Chain A
Amino acid sequence: MTIGLEHYLFVSVLLFAIGFFGVLLRKNTLVVFMCLELMLSASILALIAFSRYHSTPGHPLMEGNLLVMFIIAIAACEVAVGLAIIVALWRRNQTVELSEINELKH
């Protein structure tokens, strides 16, 4: 077996599915957030794999890699802000359970 693009893509798909599964399953905000991160990293893997397999000696395809860099930077922002929001929520409600935070309704 040689490892081709499709294998990496499948790993990426699985990772994404697991992340989504976690978002559906769990009600703990923190864990949900972690699963979101998993989904994000799945996309990173796919991007790198595409970039690697599509580049040719004459035309090194950097776009995927650079996009990954930006994604990582943005992910850092997102985590910082998200965790700050979670902390604020926790201060307010003393809980991180999504089932108990349903103020969106009001």
Chain B
Amino acid sequence: MDLGTVLCMILLAPLVSAGLIWMFARQRAVLAMTLSLGAAGIILLCSLWLFFGKWDGTSFEITTEWMALGNLHLNVGFLLNELSALMLFIVAFVGFWIHLFSVGYMHDDDARGRFFGGMSIFMFSMLGIVLADNLFMMFIFWELVGFSSYMLIGHYLTSDVAAQASKKAFIVNRVGDFGFLVGIIITYWTFGTVNLTELREVVEANPESVTTMIGLLLFCGVLGKSAQMPLHVWLPDAMAGPTPVSALIHAATMVAAGVYFLGRSFFLFTEQALHVVAWVGVVTAVCAAIWAFGQRDIKKILAYSTLSQLGYMVAGFGLGSLYGLHHGDGHTALYYGIGASMFHLTTHAFFKALLFLGSGSVIHACHHEQDIFKMGGLLKKMPFTGVTFGLGVIAIAGIPFISAGFFSKDAILYVAKATNTPAFIILAGTALLTALYMGRLFVITFLGKPNSEAAEHAKESSWTIVLPLVVLAVFSIGGGYMALYPYAIREVMANWVPQPHGTDHTLMIGISAVASLLGLVLALIIYGVGSKTDKLETTLPLVYAISKSRFYFDEVYGYYVKKVQDRLAAIVDFLDTLLISGVMVRGAAAVAGLLGIAARRMHTGSVATYVWWFFAGLVLFGAYAGGFLDGIIR
């Protein structure tokens, strides 16, 4: 088998599984589960095979024409390089463990067939994004991912919240995707190709052809999919879906697709565009961190944390690329943005998936109780979950040397410091906030005494749930060390990540250590172990209210749709009625009506008569064409 066939197999395995599930296993949960898990296993095995021997690390591309519409040739193809290999590894690896987790987590759900079918469709679409070698193909899978996300968020059909959330996710994503599509079209228009390799060659040969507009339009897609600042509203709501979905789609892979896309098309971003990207990321990071304090729902907290980390990644991309532009040394300078963001993406995928799965385990054990103030003391009840969750918290807080988050965050902070001091300060503050709210989550949920009946009776979950937790915990802790990864995919993290040197190095460690440890300790002090009420709410109601308000984004959007857009529509409607319908149409109608009075005699309502008129017309036409009427007309 050549490389292309293996990639094809990786891509098609989940599609086949989804198809089989759709056809045969909608009602047969066990079969669906087996198929879906099997597909995930095949993906994992195939990609491991790729990384341990099959693929030598050089960029590999295979393309075939899919459809030709006139001059427009739509291709499908795979581009496997350092970047997509890393992403492939993340999707395959995390995806498999989350599939395994779902087997345990969803075991009492009635619609498991649909769920696993959706998971398979998702894997297919996500892998499509990862492997796509051109923007059109990527866009197709981009939309497919949106669809499967929609389907999975709305998994609990009977719940209104889920329905609303899935709708919201879909619509908000459309807003971003519109810009994305326009961006792709402009790209095609400007460069005459959408193939990534060719694009890059064109851009490198002719760097001034890239405009800021293209970058920003393409970034629109990232805004939607990676839930960046103005379009972030869907992600927290998406937590209405089942927890494995939140872990896989809304934490580890799909939302990271935006960041991945940035890395894939980094050469299309000008410096101005990179500034915008960086600042969007920074603002998202800090705002989401603040909002996390106003939440009581365990999954919502994690959702805001995801937002914040995604902001980190986007900021990391922007700042890293800028760093590469200005301070770059060596041939990998251009890749610093990719390195910084992708490194954080990788570690984040592990520890956020771990955290979500841990929360899933908790929710499962507490009979679908999601309020953290009704939990408490779960560490003793669920030792494995508790410990692994704690490791996740350490990882996200970024405690030096024993967490993956430390290394990746470190890189981002370093490039921030080197390029943009305000951003650096904000990001460092965000790091502190991150540790704080994660500490809050852990302290309240796992320490102290149980605060409710459900938490009282919580039990450790089955092995299918615990095993993924343990595996992911190992990667969350050790994810910063290269030894853990297959050799073939180390390139990005080993060589592309900007490394601080000398004093910077020490300074970074210091800042990280202070921010993370301080945050955790502060959490312990402020909130206290296993408290039943939110201490922040009781002591500083104003701060809590600000945090809870989420800066009124949802309200503003709601207001916009309800008031502005509808009123605009009403005005347009009025103008339409007055001018077009009134003057033009009615006026024309009046003329036509006068004619109609004359012509009404012809209108008998009988089809046969019309045919006769038609025939008369035909004869006239024929006579004219034959030249019989020439004499009359002249």
Contact = CB atoms under 8 A, between A and B. Distances in A.
Contact between A and B in the complex (any CB pair below 8 Å): yes
Interface in B575-620: 603-608, 611-612, 615
Interface in A85-106: 98-99, 101-106
B611 A101 contact: no
Contact of B611 (A24, A99, A103, A104): A24
Contacts of B608: 24, 27, 98-99
A20 interface: yes
A104 B605 contact: yes
A40 to B, nearest CB: 16
A13 interface: no
Contacts of A106: 605
Interface in B10-42: none
Nearest to A20: B615
B608 to A, nearest CB: 5
Contact of A105 (B605, B611, B615): B605
Given A20-B615, A24-B612, A24-B615, A98 B603 contact: no
A106 B605 CA distance: 8
Contacts of B611: 23-24
Nearest to A99: B606
B612 A104 contact: no
B601 to A, nearest CB: 12
B605 A103 contact: yes
Interface string A1-23: 00000000000000000001001
A98 B605 CA distance: 10
Nearest to B606: A102
Interface residues of B, number: 9
A46 to B, nearest CB: 17
Contacts of B615: 20, 24
A27 B611 CA distance: 11
Contacts of A98: 606-608
The secondary structure that dominates the A interface is: helix
A12 B608 CA distance: 24
A99 B605 CA distance: 9
Contacts of A105: 603-605
Contacts of A103: 605
Interface in A55-102: 98-99, 101-102
B617 to A, nearest CB: 13
B23 to A, nearest CB: 26
Contacts of B603: 105
A49 to B, nearest CB: 21
Interface in B338-378: none
B172 to A, nearest CB: 39
B329 to A, nearest CB: 62
A73 B611 CA distance: 25
Contacts of B604: 102, 105
Nearest to A106: B605
A26 to B, nearest CB: 8
B107 to A, nearest CB: 46
Contacts of A99: 606, 608
B110 to A, nearest CB: 38
Contacts of B607: 32, 98, 101, 104
A95 B603 CA distance: 22
Contacts of B605: 102-106
A27 B606 CA distance: 10
A48 B606 CA distance: 35
Contacts of A23: 611
Nearest to A102: B605
A99 B603 CA distance: 14
A6 to B, nearest CB: 18
Which one of B603, B607, B612 has the greatest number of beta carbons of chain A within 10 Å?
B607
Contacts of A27: 608
Contacts of B612: 24
A104 B608 CA distance: 12
A27 B604 CA distance: 15
A32 B611 CA distance: 11
Contacts of A102: 604-606
A20 B606 CA distance: 17
Contacts of B606: 98-99, 102, 104
A27 B615 CA distance: 16
A105 B596 CA distance: 13
A104 B603 CA distance: 9
A105 to B, nearest CB: 3
A104 B604 CA distance: 8
A36 B604 CA distance: 22
B36 to A, nearest CB: 38
B92 to A, nearest CB: 43
A103 B607 CA distance: 10
Nearest to A104: B605
A92 B615 CA distance: 29
B543 to A, nearest CB: 66
A23 B610 CA distance: 11
A102 B607 CA distance: 7
Interface of B: 603-608, 611-612, 615
Given A24-B612, A104-B606, A104-B607, 18 more contacts: A20-B615, A23-B611, A24-B608, A24-B611, A24-B615, A27-B608, A98-B606, A98-B607, A98-B608, A99-B606, A101-B607, A102-B604, A102-B605, A104-B605, A105-B603, A105-B604, A105-B605, A106-B605
25 contacts: A20-B615, A23-B611, A24-B608, A24-B611, A24-B612, A24-B615, A27-B608, A32-B607, A98-B606, A98-B607, A98-B608, A99-B606, A99-B608, A101-B607, A102-B604, A102-B605, A102-B606, A103-B605, A104-B605, A104-B606, A104-B607, A105-B603, A105-B604, A105-B605, A106-B605
Which 10 A-B pairs give the minimum distances between C-beta atoms? A105-B605, A102-B605, A104-B605, A102-B606, A98-B607, A98-B608, A23-B611, A27-B608, A24-B611, A99-B606
